[in-house]
Each structure stands twice: as structure tokens, then as C-alpha cells.
């Protein structure tokens, strides 16, 4: 998987994030007093920032735990510490690529270096993605029922963004569900597109495509059949995922509480954060930089009032920028560890 080793692609992603971050912050602060905002941010106790960052690290560690749960269920000999490392790799590469498209390929690459098959890795990440999408969509739906005046608060542009987010996330959820419980349908579609790309002369060797698809079908059906017969594994992963996402969605509340605000409940803020996540997660922007900041200001201005800009900055520092650096360092360590051929897991049959 060349994507993991492509330094140029990484630098481009980081460069885009940096440019977007500077542009968005400059736009937000153009009519504001930078000194007042900085002083407001420095007025809160560092302990709250530490708590917020810890919650985000917990979020990443939960992904590693879930990978470990699924791999063990698939009878793979894996090391928990390495699985935690896979979580950081996924976060880093998801953050620097549009629509989080680089996270799973990078994880599959590093797992393969540990001796885990691509099929096992892909299946485990598919289960994680399914549970992640399920929890987020359910929490987003709950927001419409329990957050006061939610459906009438926001402008038409934001509502369209929300519809797009719900739609794209739902399509992913349904696709994964079919892949787990009705893989033949999915691979029938793959066969169709395999024939199509051959007829369009995008590839030359039809037999090669057919063999790859058939090989994947056999392995995925074996893994999917196991998951169908062991739904307790999906339940376990979903439970861990619930606490994982709850930790991340709790970060705005920690910052809210740090400012001494208390009018709105923890429940309100967590559900609104769920909607924010749904709205921006599918946008083709690395780390949703720009969109997350702008939507936060719109959605949380009722909660934070005059503290909304420093609240947004502190939230993004805690739930993205600091953890991006941490995950980047850990990903680098994982990469060099693999280059030194230090084994982490062995594929068992």
C-alpha cells in the first residue's frame, strides 16, 4: 500500500490542513480582538484542556480495542498494544486525507506488515465502521427529538448540509450491512463493475480481475458468515463504540463547563455535537478543517454565547490539532518499527 509510504501525499494533506486552518481562523478573527480571545482562552484552567485531550486519546484507543476484539473473534493472534497503534495510524491518515479516505488503507497496510491478511483487516475495519456509523446516526436522530427547537434553528444551507451528511452516512451503513449479511449482493455488483471497466478498456486482463474478485468473495463470505453467527462480537464492538463516540462528543461540554457555563445540559451539547459530526464528516476536506469550525460557530453560539469563538478554538485544539500531532508521531514510530521487521501479529488459520 504505497499510500502509507508516500511522503509527498502526506505533506500535501498537512499543507492543505494548515492553509485551511490559517484561512478559517483569519476569517473568524477578522472583526475580533485577538488579545481578548487569547486572554479568554488562557483564563480557563489547563486541567480542562488535559481532560479534553484525554477524552480524544480515549476515543482513538477504543478503536484499537475494537480491532483487537474483532481480530480475536476471527481467531487471529494479535497484540493489543499493536492494535492500539493501528487506531492512531487510522486517525492520523483519516485526518490528512479528504473524506477520511486514507485511514483504513493505511491501517490495512500496517496490519499486513504484521502478518495479518488484507481480508481479515478489511473485515475488522468494516465492522468498526458499521458500528461507528450506527451509533452516530442514532445519536443524530435523537437530537431531533430531544434538542429544543432544533429543526427550526438553522439556516437552509446548513439543513442541506445536514441532509447530505445523513444521506451519505446512511448509504455507508446500509452498504456495510449488506457486505456483512448479504455479501453475494455486494460482490454481484463488484462483478458487474469488473466487467464494465474491462469493456471500457480501463484494464486489460479480465481473468485477473475475475480471479481477484472470486478470491475476495471466498474469504469475505467466510468472515461474514462467522460474524453472522457471532453477533455478540458486533454487539461488543458497538458498546465500545458508543463510549468511544460519547467521549469525543463530550469534549465541547468540557470546554463549556471550563468557562463556568451551566445553562444547558451535558445531554444537549453531546447531541448537537453528534449532528455537527454528521454534517461535516462526509465533506471532501482533510480533517473537515474549515467546515467543522464554521458549523461549530453556527450550532454552538446559543450554548457558548460570547465564548463561542474561544470555545470553538479550544474544542478543535483538543479534539483535532493536538491529537493529530500525537497520532502522527505514533504513526511514524509504527512505520519505522515495521521497517525494522519487528513482528506484531501472526496470521493463524
270 vs 155, residue with greater confidence: 270
Structure confidence by residue, pLDDT tens digits, 226-281: 667 778 998 999 999 999 999 999 999 999 999 999 999 999 899 889 888 888 87
* Number of domains forming the structure of the chain: 1
Structure confidence by residue, pLDDT tens digits, 103-130: 888 898 899 888 888 878 888 888 888 8
pLDDT at 340: 43
CB-based contact 41:314 (threshold 8 Å): yes
pLDDT-derived band at 224, boundaries 50, 70, 90: low
3 has a pLDDT exceeding 50? no
Structure confidence by residue, pLDDT tens digits, 36-87: 999 999 999 999 999 999 999 999 999 999 999 999 988 888 999 999 999 9
pLDDT at 229: 77
Shortest CA distance to 293 belongs to which of 307, 278, 306, 311? 311
Mean pLDDT of the chain: 80
199 has a pLDDT exceeding 50? yes
342 vs 163, residue with greater confidence: 163
Structure confidence by residue, pLDDT tens digits, 313-349: 999 999 999 999 999 999 988 888 754 444 444 444 3
pLDDT-derived band at 216, boundaries 50, 70, 90: low
List, as own/partner pairs, every contact residues 144-152 make where C-beta atoms lie below 8 angstroms and the sequence separation is at least 24, other chains included.
Answer: 146/267, 146/268, 146/271, 147/268, 147/271, 147/272, 148/268, 150/272, 150/275
pLDDT at 5: 47
| DSSP tag of 201 | T
Beta strand ranges found along 101-154 (DSSP E): none
Local structure of 229: helix, strand or coil: coil
Domain residues for 10?
2-346
pLDDT at 207: 64
- Tell me the average pLDDT across 288-303: 82
Alpha-carbon separation of residue 231 from 132, 180, 256, 348 (angstroms): 16, 11, 38, 22
Task: Output phi, psi for 346, to 5 deg.
Answer: -125, 130
Determine the Cα–Cα distance for residues 184 and 55; give it in Å rounded to an integer.
Answer: 39
Taking only Cα atoms into account, the Rg of the chain, rounded to an integer number of angstroms, comes to 21
Q: Is 204 exposed, middle or buried (0-12, 13-18, 19+ CB in 10 A)?
A: exposed
CB-based contact 165:280 (threshold 8 Å): yes
Amino acid at each position: 500500500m504505497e499510500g502509507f509510504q508516500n511522503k509527498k501525499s502526506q505533506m500535501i494533506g498537512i499543507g492543505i490542513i494548515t492553509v485551511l486552518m490559517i484561512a478559517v481562523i483569519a476569517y473568524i478573527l477578522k472583526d475580533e480582538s485577538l488579545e481578548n480571545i487569547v486572554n479568554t482562552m488562557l483564563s480557563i484552567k489547563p486541567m480542562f484542556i488535559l481532560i479534553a485531550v484525554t477524552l480524544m486519546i480515549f476515543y482513538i484507543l477504543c478503536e484499537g480495542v475494537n480491532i483487537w476484539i474483532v481480530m480475536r473473534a476471527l481467531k487471529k493472534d494479535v497484540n493489543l498494544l499493536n492494535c492500539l497503534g493501528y487506531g492512531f495510524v487510522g486517525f492520523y491518515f483519516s485526518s490528512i486525507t479528504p473524506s477520511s479516505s486514507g485511514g483504513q488503507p493505511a491501517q490495512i497496510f500496517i496490519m499486513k506488515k504484521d502478518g495479518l491478511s488484507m481480508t481479515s483487516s478489511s473485515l475488522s475495519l468494516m465492522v468498526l465502521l458499521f458500528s461507528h456509523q450506527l451509533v452516530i446516526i442514532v445519536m443524530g436522530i435523537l437530537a431531533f427529538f430531544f434538542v429544543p427547537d432544533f429543526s427550526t434553528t438553522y439556516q437552509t444551507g446548513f439543513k442541506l448540509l445536514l441532509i447530505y451528511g445523513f444521506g451519505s452516512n446512511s448509504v455507508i451503513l446500509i452498504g456495510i450491512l449488506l457486505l456483512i449479511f448479504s455479501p453475494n449482493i455486494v460482490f454481484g455488483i463488484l462483478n458487474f463493475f469488473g466487467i464494465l471497466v474491462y469493456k471500457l478498456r480501463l484494464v486489460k486482463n479480465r481473468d485477473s480481475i475475475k480471479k481477484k474478485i472470486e478470491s475476495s468473495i471466498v474469504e469475505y463470505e467466510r468472515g461474514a458468515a462467522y460474524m453472522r453467527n457471532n453477533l455478540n462480537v458486533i454487539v461488543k464492538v458497538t458498546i465500545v463504540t458508543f463510549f468511544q463516540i460519547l467521549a469525543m462528543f463530550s469534549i465541547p461540554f468540557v470546554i463549556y463547563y471550563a468557562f463556568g457555563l451551566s445553562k444547558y445540559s451535558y445531554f444537549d451539547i453531546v447531541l448537537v455535537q453528534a449532528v455537527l459530526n454528521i454534517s461535516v464528516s462526509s465533506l471532501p476536506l482533510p480533517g473537515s478543517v474549515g467546515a467543522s469550525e464554521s458549523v461549530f460557530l453556527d450550532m454552538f453560539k446559543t450554548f457558548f454565547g460570547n465564548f463561542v469563538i474561544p470555545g470553538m478554538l479550544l474544542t478543535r485544539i483538543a479534539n483535532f490539532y493536538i491529537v493529530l500531532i500525537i497520532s502522527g508521531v505514533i504513526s511514524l514510530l509504527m512505520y519505522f518499527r515495521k521497517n525494522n521487521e519487528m513482528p506484531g501479529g501472526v496470521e493463524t488459520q
